[in-house]
Chains A and B, each alone.
Chain A
């Protein structure tokens, strides 16, 4: 399947999903669907760095919230449409990703991870101390009830915007995976010293991965203020984003673009259901436990389990036909 066909397939899947939600006509479906889509974008963005190059980013919340707060600033100063704000948010988060990477990626991978963990705390401190975006009190965003051009409900509009972002992110991830760039990333993950010795420009590739990954996280966060209409640092920087960003790709499987999608749909839906039926603290506990259980028991995630099953099945069939 080539790239264009893949994008077309994604668009058709997305349109089918949107159409189904439209037909059912339940507003909550769009509301919950937006969150799941946002997690697909976040998990895939994380995987571009984490899964492909093997560098763990614990600062998903920081990049995500930077995108969201960029929107808060732009909302106060301009009347830009949401997709433009997403581009700016992506730019800001991408630059921060580049900067963090530049300072720490020349060292061992662990240092980058620790730096991203601390980055989340610091960016939150800066935002909390910045009164223009509401400081610790938070910021209110008044959104119009409908979108003038399309004439649909605003939540549905945000759902569509996020859907388009997901298509872009997935197409990018899949393209990277199958390109020279993806092989470069994989050499870093498998043996960085050997890659360096064979002339792979490892630092440049790592910086590229960090920037792309950070930018997509920022873009995923940019529509958030319009979605929640009230944003404070505690919710924007919620550890839930960081944990889900790590857990979804690892539960789904990091080796291919499909893994984070599976993980995000599974964990995202689970959390939407659990938030409504049980408590939200408990559903975060479930995510944490699943993360730990999967990295111990099934290190290659659901994709790895499926692959193992397929191989065993093939082995069985082959064995039987020979007998």
Chain B
């Protein structure tokens, strides 16, 4: 089994001007000189990174935040999305994000199927807590091992016109590789928000999050609504996977790196509030970017976990908690 290499996997590309050139033993004066630039770049890449984190988390905000389904296998679906984008890109040269959009319906169907099993085997029996969790853990593990068996543990990457270049605005660098995922994420979050607040089905999903019994009394089937919502949450994993592989090379086990981040953001964002998710994602992005810039990228996973623990200990209701 491949473990989790914690080398500078994404940060050198994420913040090219700081971590790659600057050894820890710089003369003090140069640090002072550079620190404003560094600071600005750290904030910008943190915000961009945060946008990407929002895309990764939004599915869990739906499943865990609204439907109360602790889908810890979500990162595995995201990695699956990455590999589908990779296959489409490597074989027929399709743009990874376009490939993800095409794969959306397939992921939706996958989500519906997973929810159906989950509902029949666990939710209906009232056995979500122990065995339902173990079920998702098993899915996470099986997906990872299958990907290892098929593709091996090598890092895979995609090619797209926006992966190389960087926009320079003053001293601030905007790598398109981070900017495009951030924009995709914002479109995704905004689209879902509009869907939930404007359409009948969307409102039904919000209602299921609040009171299932009331929904049943109004002659709507909460199981059907949850099935649709869970399908949507897995569908977002397709896009999240594509932007992930745009940002960094992907191998099967990196999904686990994201578990701490995803749930920290989801909880801090107030469980199911999209605006909260966005704010929490950007906050974590900035904190991680600062850590990577000033302490070294190998500490980034620890930051996410610290974030999660502090959130759980101090404010489990999140910033925008109801």
Contacts and interface: CB of A to CB of B under 8 A. Distances in A.
A292 interface: yes
A155 interface: no
A165 interface: no
Nearest to A293: B138
Nearest to B306: A122
Contact of B133 (A113, A122, A136, A282): A113
A113 B4 CA distance: 20
Interface string B138-151: 11011011101100
B301 interface: yes
Contacts, number: 149
B308 A281 contact: no
Interface string A282-293: 101100110110
Given A113-B133, A115-B312, A288-B145, A237 B3 contact: yes
Interface in B110-129: 117, 121-122, 125, 127, 129
A129 B295 CA distance: 12
B203 interface: no
B226 interface: no
A126 interface: yes
B155 to A, nearest CB: 15
B2 interface: yes
B170 interface: no
Nearest to B313: A103
A250 interface: yes
A159 to B, nearest CB: 24
B253 interface: yes
Nearest to B152: A281
A182 B2 CA distance: 38
B130 interface: yes
Contact of A285 (B122, B131, B146): B146
B314 to A, nearest CB: 10
Interface string B294-322: 00001101101110110011001000000
Given A126-B302, A296-B135, A111 B312 contact: yes
A299 B131 CA distance: 7
B1 interface: yes
Given A110-B133, A295-B121, A295-B131, A284 B141 contact: yes
Contacts of B122: 295
Query: Which applies to chain B's interface (DSSP): helix, strand, loop or mixed?
Result: helix
A54 interface: yes
B86 interface: no
A78 B253 CA distance: 36
Interface in A195-215: none
Contacts of A285: 142, 145-146, 149
B134 A104 contact: no
Interface string B24-56: 000000000000000000000000000000000
Given A284-B145, A292-B135, A117 B260 contact: yes
Contacts of B267: 111
A273 B4 CA distance: 27
A30 interface: no
B312 to A, nearest CB: 5
A233 B145 CA distance: 19
Nearest to A249: B134
Contacts of B72: 58, 113-114, 117
Contact of A114 (B2, B70, B149, B299): B70
B260 A121 contact: yes
A11 B306 CA distance: 44
Contacts of A104: 309, 312-313
Given A114-B72, A288-B142, A292-B139, A239 B253 contact: yes
A74 interface: no
A295 B3 contact: no
Contacts of B6: 124-125, 128-129, 136
Given A114-B70, A128-B298, A121 B312 contact: no
B257 interface: yes
Nearest to A127: B6
B3 A115 contact: no
B239 interface: no
Contacts of B304: 118
A107 B312 CA distance: 8
A291 B131 CA distance: 10
Contacts of A129: 6, 298-299
Identify the interface centre among A122, A280, A285: most chain B CB within 10 Å of its CB.
A122
9 contacts: A113-B70, A121-B4, A122-B301, A126-B302, A234-B2, A281-B148, A289-B142, A292-B142, A299-B131
The 8 closest A-B pairs by CB, nearest first: A234-B3, A118-B260, A292-B138, A122-B305, A295-B131, A288-B142, A291-B138, A288-B141
Interface of A: 50, 54, 56, 58, 103-104, 107, 109-111, 113-115, 117-122, 124-126, 128-129, 136, 232-235, 237-240, 243, 246-247, 250, 254, 280-282, 284-285, 288-289, 291-292, 295-296, 299
Given A104-B313, A125-B299, A289-B142, 14 more contacts: A56-B134, A104-B312, A110-B70, A110-B133, A117-B256, A119-B305, A121-B259, A124-B4, A232-B3, A250-B131, A285-B149, A288-B141, A288-B142, A291-B141
Interface of B: 1-7, 64, 70, 72, 117, 121-122, 125, 127, 129-135, 137-139, 141-142, 144-146, 148-149, 253, 256-257, 259-260, 263-264, 267, 298-299, 301-302, 304-306, 308-309, 312-313, 316
